[in-house]
Structure 1
């Protein structure tokens, strides 16, 4: 029940965060302009890249708190949490100072603004640093709540803060100071509020309020944290390098279009992030018990369900972005510019999302080194490919490079996971659990797009056709992946009934 509740909470949080961003964006563009939204996109990229400074400490504290609850060592876990709180505050101060130092250079030489003045861009970048510092400890206290099995508390706080921040920001821009500086000030205030609420919830969940500081205890968790930090850093560089390069080589308006496309594609995280948060601990438990048959059954069954849903959603983005953006922003020209970018980014993100299963299995099996080596290898490919394609083709080059990179990740990662971790996670998994849902969801999505294009239907009609095509793809994917008996067993498992494990 707790596993199902945590999964539901994680999905609700992901859904609300994405919806809030999508709903608020037209207001931000209207009040601030497309170039200012490009600055918001640059901030999002900067925020993600700086997560490398976390060095894997957030998942480490999550693991330690969960372990401490099982072994009766809550005081040691509480001591670690208190110590890491000091570390995070120190890093936040460094972030403010570093970004304030380089802000003039970014405003003058890195970002290419046409309508915004250099001083405005510099001030905005400086406020980005303040915003990042205010939000920096969020991951620490979220990790603590996850480790204490209080994911619902973390999700509720995130949803409430994001909704209130968006409403307040829109109100300030509409009736107050209509500037990008005001945007970042309001966001920083709500980021700090979220930290304070999460800190209180984390300490209440962990207990042991009198636990001492112990910086020597950091040595105990350093090995696990170092490997996880390597995985996180390499993964972040792979996923964000296209945005870093494009922010330098294209105009701020073109970069804004790219980030708008990325925001649309981020809707796929409604499935991928909750899947990781739910599957990783479950895989770990089954491996610890030595229950390989249940692990294999869960891996294959869940990946078929997940692949079908993910591909159906991804192909809806691929083929329906233009009418979606036309309705959303009311600007057909922007929609035409964003559509091809979103299509390539959606393909790459869907392939990346499928790899959540091999990635979870690698970590659950105690092989973070394999995950690091794969990420490092992809980074070696990413750097020259993104630079070459972005310089030659601009924003579309960055989007295409993301799709190519994740196609390589799919094949290389699957092969290595099957060879080094579990045989059932190799080529046979790719053939049976991924390719069938891919074909089943692609065919109706392509047909629906062709019909809409041929008949030149209105945007709303096109979106309706896309929904029908996606629903048809899901039905075909489930029918092609499961027999009637298997599907009934999956439904029973999903609603909590006991079922015999087998294939």
Structure 2
């Protein structure tokens, strides 16, 4: 029952976070303007880039706590969590100081602002550092709750605080101080509250609240954490390199269009992030238990369900972005600029999402080196590809680069996982468990788009047709991937009931 509950809670959190961002965006554009929203987009990129300072410790904590629960070493896990809490506070202070130091240079020389003064941009960047510092420990305590299979608690906290933060921010901008500085101050306050609440919940979930600090214990996890640090650095550069390049080579307005497209595509995280957070500790526990049969069955069955839902959502974005943005922002011109960007970003993100399964299996099997080598190879290829495409096509080039590199990732990453980790996770897994759902959802989505274009329907009707096409694709994907008896078996596993494989 816990697997299904955690997945449902995590998915609900992802839905709420995405909806908050989508609902709040028109208010931010109205009160702050497009260039200020470009600064918010830059903050999102900066936040992701600075995750390299996590050094792979958050996923390490998840794996350690999941393993500790299986082998009866909860006290050691609790000691590790307390010790890393001190490390994270130190890193938070470092982040605030580092960003404050480079803020004037970023405001004057990096960001291409036209309407906003350089001083305002520099102050906003400085407050970004404060915001990042306040939020920094969140990943540690969220990771601890993931490893303890208490994802529902983290999700409930995230939903509550994010809703309150959005309402408060909009209220301050509407009736208080209408500035980008006020935006970041409010966000920082709620980020600090989020970190404090998660700390309390994580320590309760892990138990052994009197466990000692032990910095020597860091040596035990350093090998895994060091490779995870490399994975984090290369992975984050891979995911943000297009945005970093575009923030330099194009002005803030088209960059804001790119970030709008990225925000839309982030809706795919409704599925990807909850799946990783739910299945990674489960994979770790099954490997620690030596239950290969259940691991294989869970890996393959979960892929089929995940791929069906992911590709249905992704193809909906590919073919229906323009009517969606037109209704969302009420601006057909902006929608026409955002639509092609969102289409290619959605394709790349869907391919990347499928690879969460091989990635999770690599980490659960204790082979982060393989994940690092794969990411490093992709980064070496991506740098010249994105630079060339961005120079030639601007924002569209960044989106094309993202789609191209993830297509390569699917081919290479799947082959390496099947060869080096588990034989069942190779290309046959990709073709059967991801390829069939992709084809099943693509055809109805394409047909729906053709109907909309042929009949020249309005945006509301287009979204309705797109929604029906997605549901049809899901139905075809499930029917083509599972026999009725097998589907019932998968549901039984999700709700914690015994299955033959268990």
Specify the TM-score bucket, using the shorter chain as the normaliser: over 0.9
In structure 2, relative to structure 1, the CA distance for the partners of 1:281 and 1:212 (3 Å cut) is closer
Partner of 1:335: 335
3-state secondary structure, aligned to 1:113: coil
Summarize the Cα distance change of 1:156–1:179 in structure 2 as closer, same or farther, 3 Å threshold: same
Looking at structure 2, the residues matched to 332 and 238 of structure 1 have their Cα atoms a distance apart, in angstroms, of 31
Taking the aligned partners of 1:113 and 1:352, their CA distance within structure 2 comes to 32
- The verdict on how the C-alpha distance between 1:448 and 1:198 changes in structure 2, with shifts beyond 3 A counting, is same
SS of residue paired to 2:500 = coil
What's the offset of the Cα at 1:491?
Answer: 3.9
Equivalences, count:
502
- Residue in 2 aligned with 1:174? 174
Query: Which consecutive residues of structure 2, in runs of 5 or more, have no partner in the other structure?
Result: none
Structure 1 regions of 5+ residues with no counterpart? none
Query: Counterparts of 1:334 and 1:352 in 2: how far apart (Å)?
Result: 27
Report SS of the residue matched to 1:109: helix
Aligned to 2:351: 351
Whether the aligned pair in 1 keeps the contact of 2:348 and 2:407 (CA below 8 Å) is yes
The Cα shift of 1:118 comes to 1.0
Deviates more, 1:451-460 or 1:400-409: 451-460
Of 204-213 and 259-268, deviating more is: 204-213
Q: CA 1:34/1:489 → structure 2, altered by over 3 Å: closer, same or farther? A: same
Does the alignment pair 1:225 with 2:219?
no
The 8 Å contact of residues 147 and 281 in structure 2, kept in 1 or not, is answered as no
Tell me which residue corresponds to 2:258: 258
- Equivalent position SS for 1:407: helix
- Residue 469 of structure 2 corresponds to residue 483 of structure 1: no
Report what 1:137 is aligned to. Answer: 137
Tell me how far 1:33 sits from its aligned partner: 0.8
CA offsets 1:134-171 (integer angstroms, 9 cap, x no match)? 11111112122223332222111111110000000000
Contact 2:138 2:195 in 1 (8 A): yes
Whole-Å separation in 1 of the counterparts to 2:500 and 2:291: 14
In 2, Cα distance between equivalents of 1:404 and 1:179: 38
Q: Flag the 1:205–1:432 CA change in 2: closer, same or farther, 3 A.
A: closer
Aligned residue number for residue 48 of structure 1: 48
Query: Following the alignment from structure 1 to structure 2, what is the Cα–Cα distance between the partners of residues 79 and 496?
Result: 30
How much does 1:437 deviate? 1.2
User: Which residue of the partner structure matches residue 435 of structure 1?
Assistant: 435
Deviation (angstroms), 1:72: 4.9
The answer on whether the counterparts of 2:88 and 2:137 sit within 8 Å (CA) in structure 1 is: yes
- Bigger CA drift: 91-100 or 482-491? 482-491
Are 2:361 and 1:361 equivalent residues in the alignment? yes
Q: Distance in 2 between matches of 1:274 and 1:243?
A: 24
Q: Counterpart of 2:303?
A: 303
Q: SS state of the match for residue 325, structure 1? A: helix
Q: Which residue of 2 aligns with 1:395?
A: 395
Name the SS for the 2:104 alignment partner.
helix
Q: CA deviation at 1:86?
A: 1.9
Q: TM-score w.r.t. structure 2 length?
A: 0.96
CA-CA distance at 1:93 after TM superposition: 1.3
CA deviations on 1:370-424 (whole Å, 9 max, x unpaired) are: 1111111111111111111111211100000000000000011111111122222
Gap change, CA 1:73 and 1:27, over 3 Å in 2: same
Pairwise CA distance, 1:62: 2.7
Q: Is the 8 A contact 2:70 2:289 kept in 1?
A: no
More displaced stretch, 87-96 vs 340-349: 87-96
Distance 1:483 1:82 in 2: 47
- Change in Cα spacing, 1:142 to 1:491, as seen in structure 2 (3 Å) is closer
1:30 to 1:214, Cα distance in 2 relative to 1, 3 A:
same
CA distance in 1, matches of 2:54, 2:240: 16
Q: In terms of mean alpha carbon deviation, does 221-230 or 71-80 score higher?
A: 71-80
Q: How does 1:316-335 map to 2 (within 5 A)?
A: 316-335=316-335
Correspondence 1:419-498 to 2 at 5 A = 419-498=419-498
What SS is found at the alignment partner of 2:11? Answer: helix
Give the distance between the partners of 1:115 and 1:176, measured in 2 at CA.
Answer: 22
CA shift, 1:83, in A, is 2.3
Distance 1:73 1:476, change over 3 A: closer
CA distance in 1, matches of 2:273, 2:451: 33
Quick check: 330-339 or 217-226, which moved more? 217-226
CA shift, 1:479, in A, is 2.1
